[in-house]
Amino acid sequence: MTANIWQKIRASWAKRSVKIVVAVIAVLVLVIIAQLVWPRDVALPLRWIDDIPVGFKNTDEIKRTLNNDYNNQQLNIINHDDHLITKPISDLDITIDFQNQVDEVLDYPLWQRFIPFSSVLSMIIQPTTSPPSIKVSSLAGFSCSDPTDARIAVEDGALSVQPAENGCSFNPDALLLALSKLGLRGGNDTILYFDIQINPANITTETADGLVTKILQNTTDGIDFVANELTLHATTAEIIDVLEFTNDSENHTIDVSANLDKLHTLIDKSEMANRLFTAQDTIIYISNGIETGAVIGRPGLGADYDKIAADLVDVATNKTQLITIELTDVTPRVIYKRSYSADWIGLVTQLTDQYAGKAYAIAVLDLAGGRQDMFINADRQFTAASTYKLFTAYSMFKSDNPPLCLDMMIVYSDNNCPESFLAGYGYGQSTNDARSVGTNSTSFSPGNMVTTARDLSTFLRQIYNGSILSPTDNSRLLNDMKTQVYRNGIPAGIGNSGVVADKVGFLWGLLHDAAIIYTNRGDYIIVIMTDGYSWRSIADTTHMINERM
From 58-67, 162-171, 207-216, 319-328, the region with the lowest mean pLDDT: 319-328
Q: Which of 195, 220, 81 is nearest to 144 (CA)?
A: 195
pLDDT value, residue 365: 95
135 touches 97 (CB < 8 A): yes
pLDDT tops 90 at residue 455: yes
**pLDDT tens digits, one per residue of 307-349:** 888 888 888 888 766 788 777 788 888 998 999 888 888 888 8
For 445-449, the CB contacts below 8 A with 24+ separation are 448/383, 449/383, 449/384, 449/385, 449/388
**pLDDT tens digits, one per residue of 238-264:** 888 999 999 999 999 999 999 989 888
Task: Compute the average pLDDT of residues 363-380.
Answer: 88
Name residue 515's beta-bridge partners: 502, 526
pLDDT value, residue 190: 64
Percent of the chain at pLDDT > 70 equals 82
Higher pLDDT, 170 or 157: 157
**pLDDT tens digits, one per residue of 409-419:** 999 999 999 99
pLDDT tops 80 at residue 525: yes
Higher pLDDT, 526 or 181: 526
**pLDDT tens digits, one per residue of 177-226:** 666 566 555 556 666 666 677 788 999 999 999 999 998 888 888 888 88
- The CATH classification number of 344-548 equals 3.40.710.10
Higher pLDDT, 35 or 259: 259
pLDDT value, residue 535: 95
Cβ neighbours around 537 below 10 Å, total: 19
Averaged pLDDT of the chain: 84
pLDDT value, residue 157: 84
- The CATH classification number of 206-335 equals 3.10.20
Buried b (16+ CB within 10 A) or exposed e, 474-510: bebbbebbbebebbebbbbbbeeebebbbbbbbeeeb
Task: Compute the average pLDDT of residues 466-495.
Answer: 96
Instruction: From residue 494, give the alpha-carbon distance in Å to each of 125, 524, 535.
Output: 100, 12, 13
Task: Compute the average pLDDT of residues 356-384.
Answer: 89
Higher pLDDT, 361 or 55: 361
pLDDT value, residue 166: 84
Cβ neighbours around 165 below 10 Å, total: 14
Write the DSSP symbol of residue 280.
B
pLDDT value, residue 90: 65
pLDDT tops 90 at residue 393: yes
What confidence tier does 82 reach under pLDDT thresholds 50, 70, 90?
low
pTM equals: 0.51
pLDDT tops 90 at residue 131: no
Higher pLDDT, 170 or 449: 449
What confidence tier does 457 reach under pLDDT thresholds 50, 70, 90?
very high
pLDDT value, residue 31: 72
Alpha helices in 192-293 (DSSP H): 205-218, 236-242, 260-268
For residues 245 and 536, what is the distance between their CA atoms, to the nearest angstrom? 43
pLDDT value, residue 15: 66
Q: Which of 297, 291, 363 is nearest to 331 (CA)?
A: 297
From 55-64, 283-292, 448-457, the region with the lowest mean pLDDT: 55-64
Domain ranges of the chain: 206-335, 344-548
Higher pLDDT, 172 or 335: 335
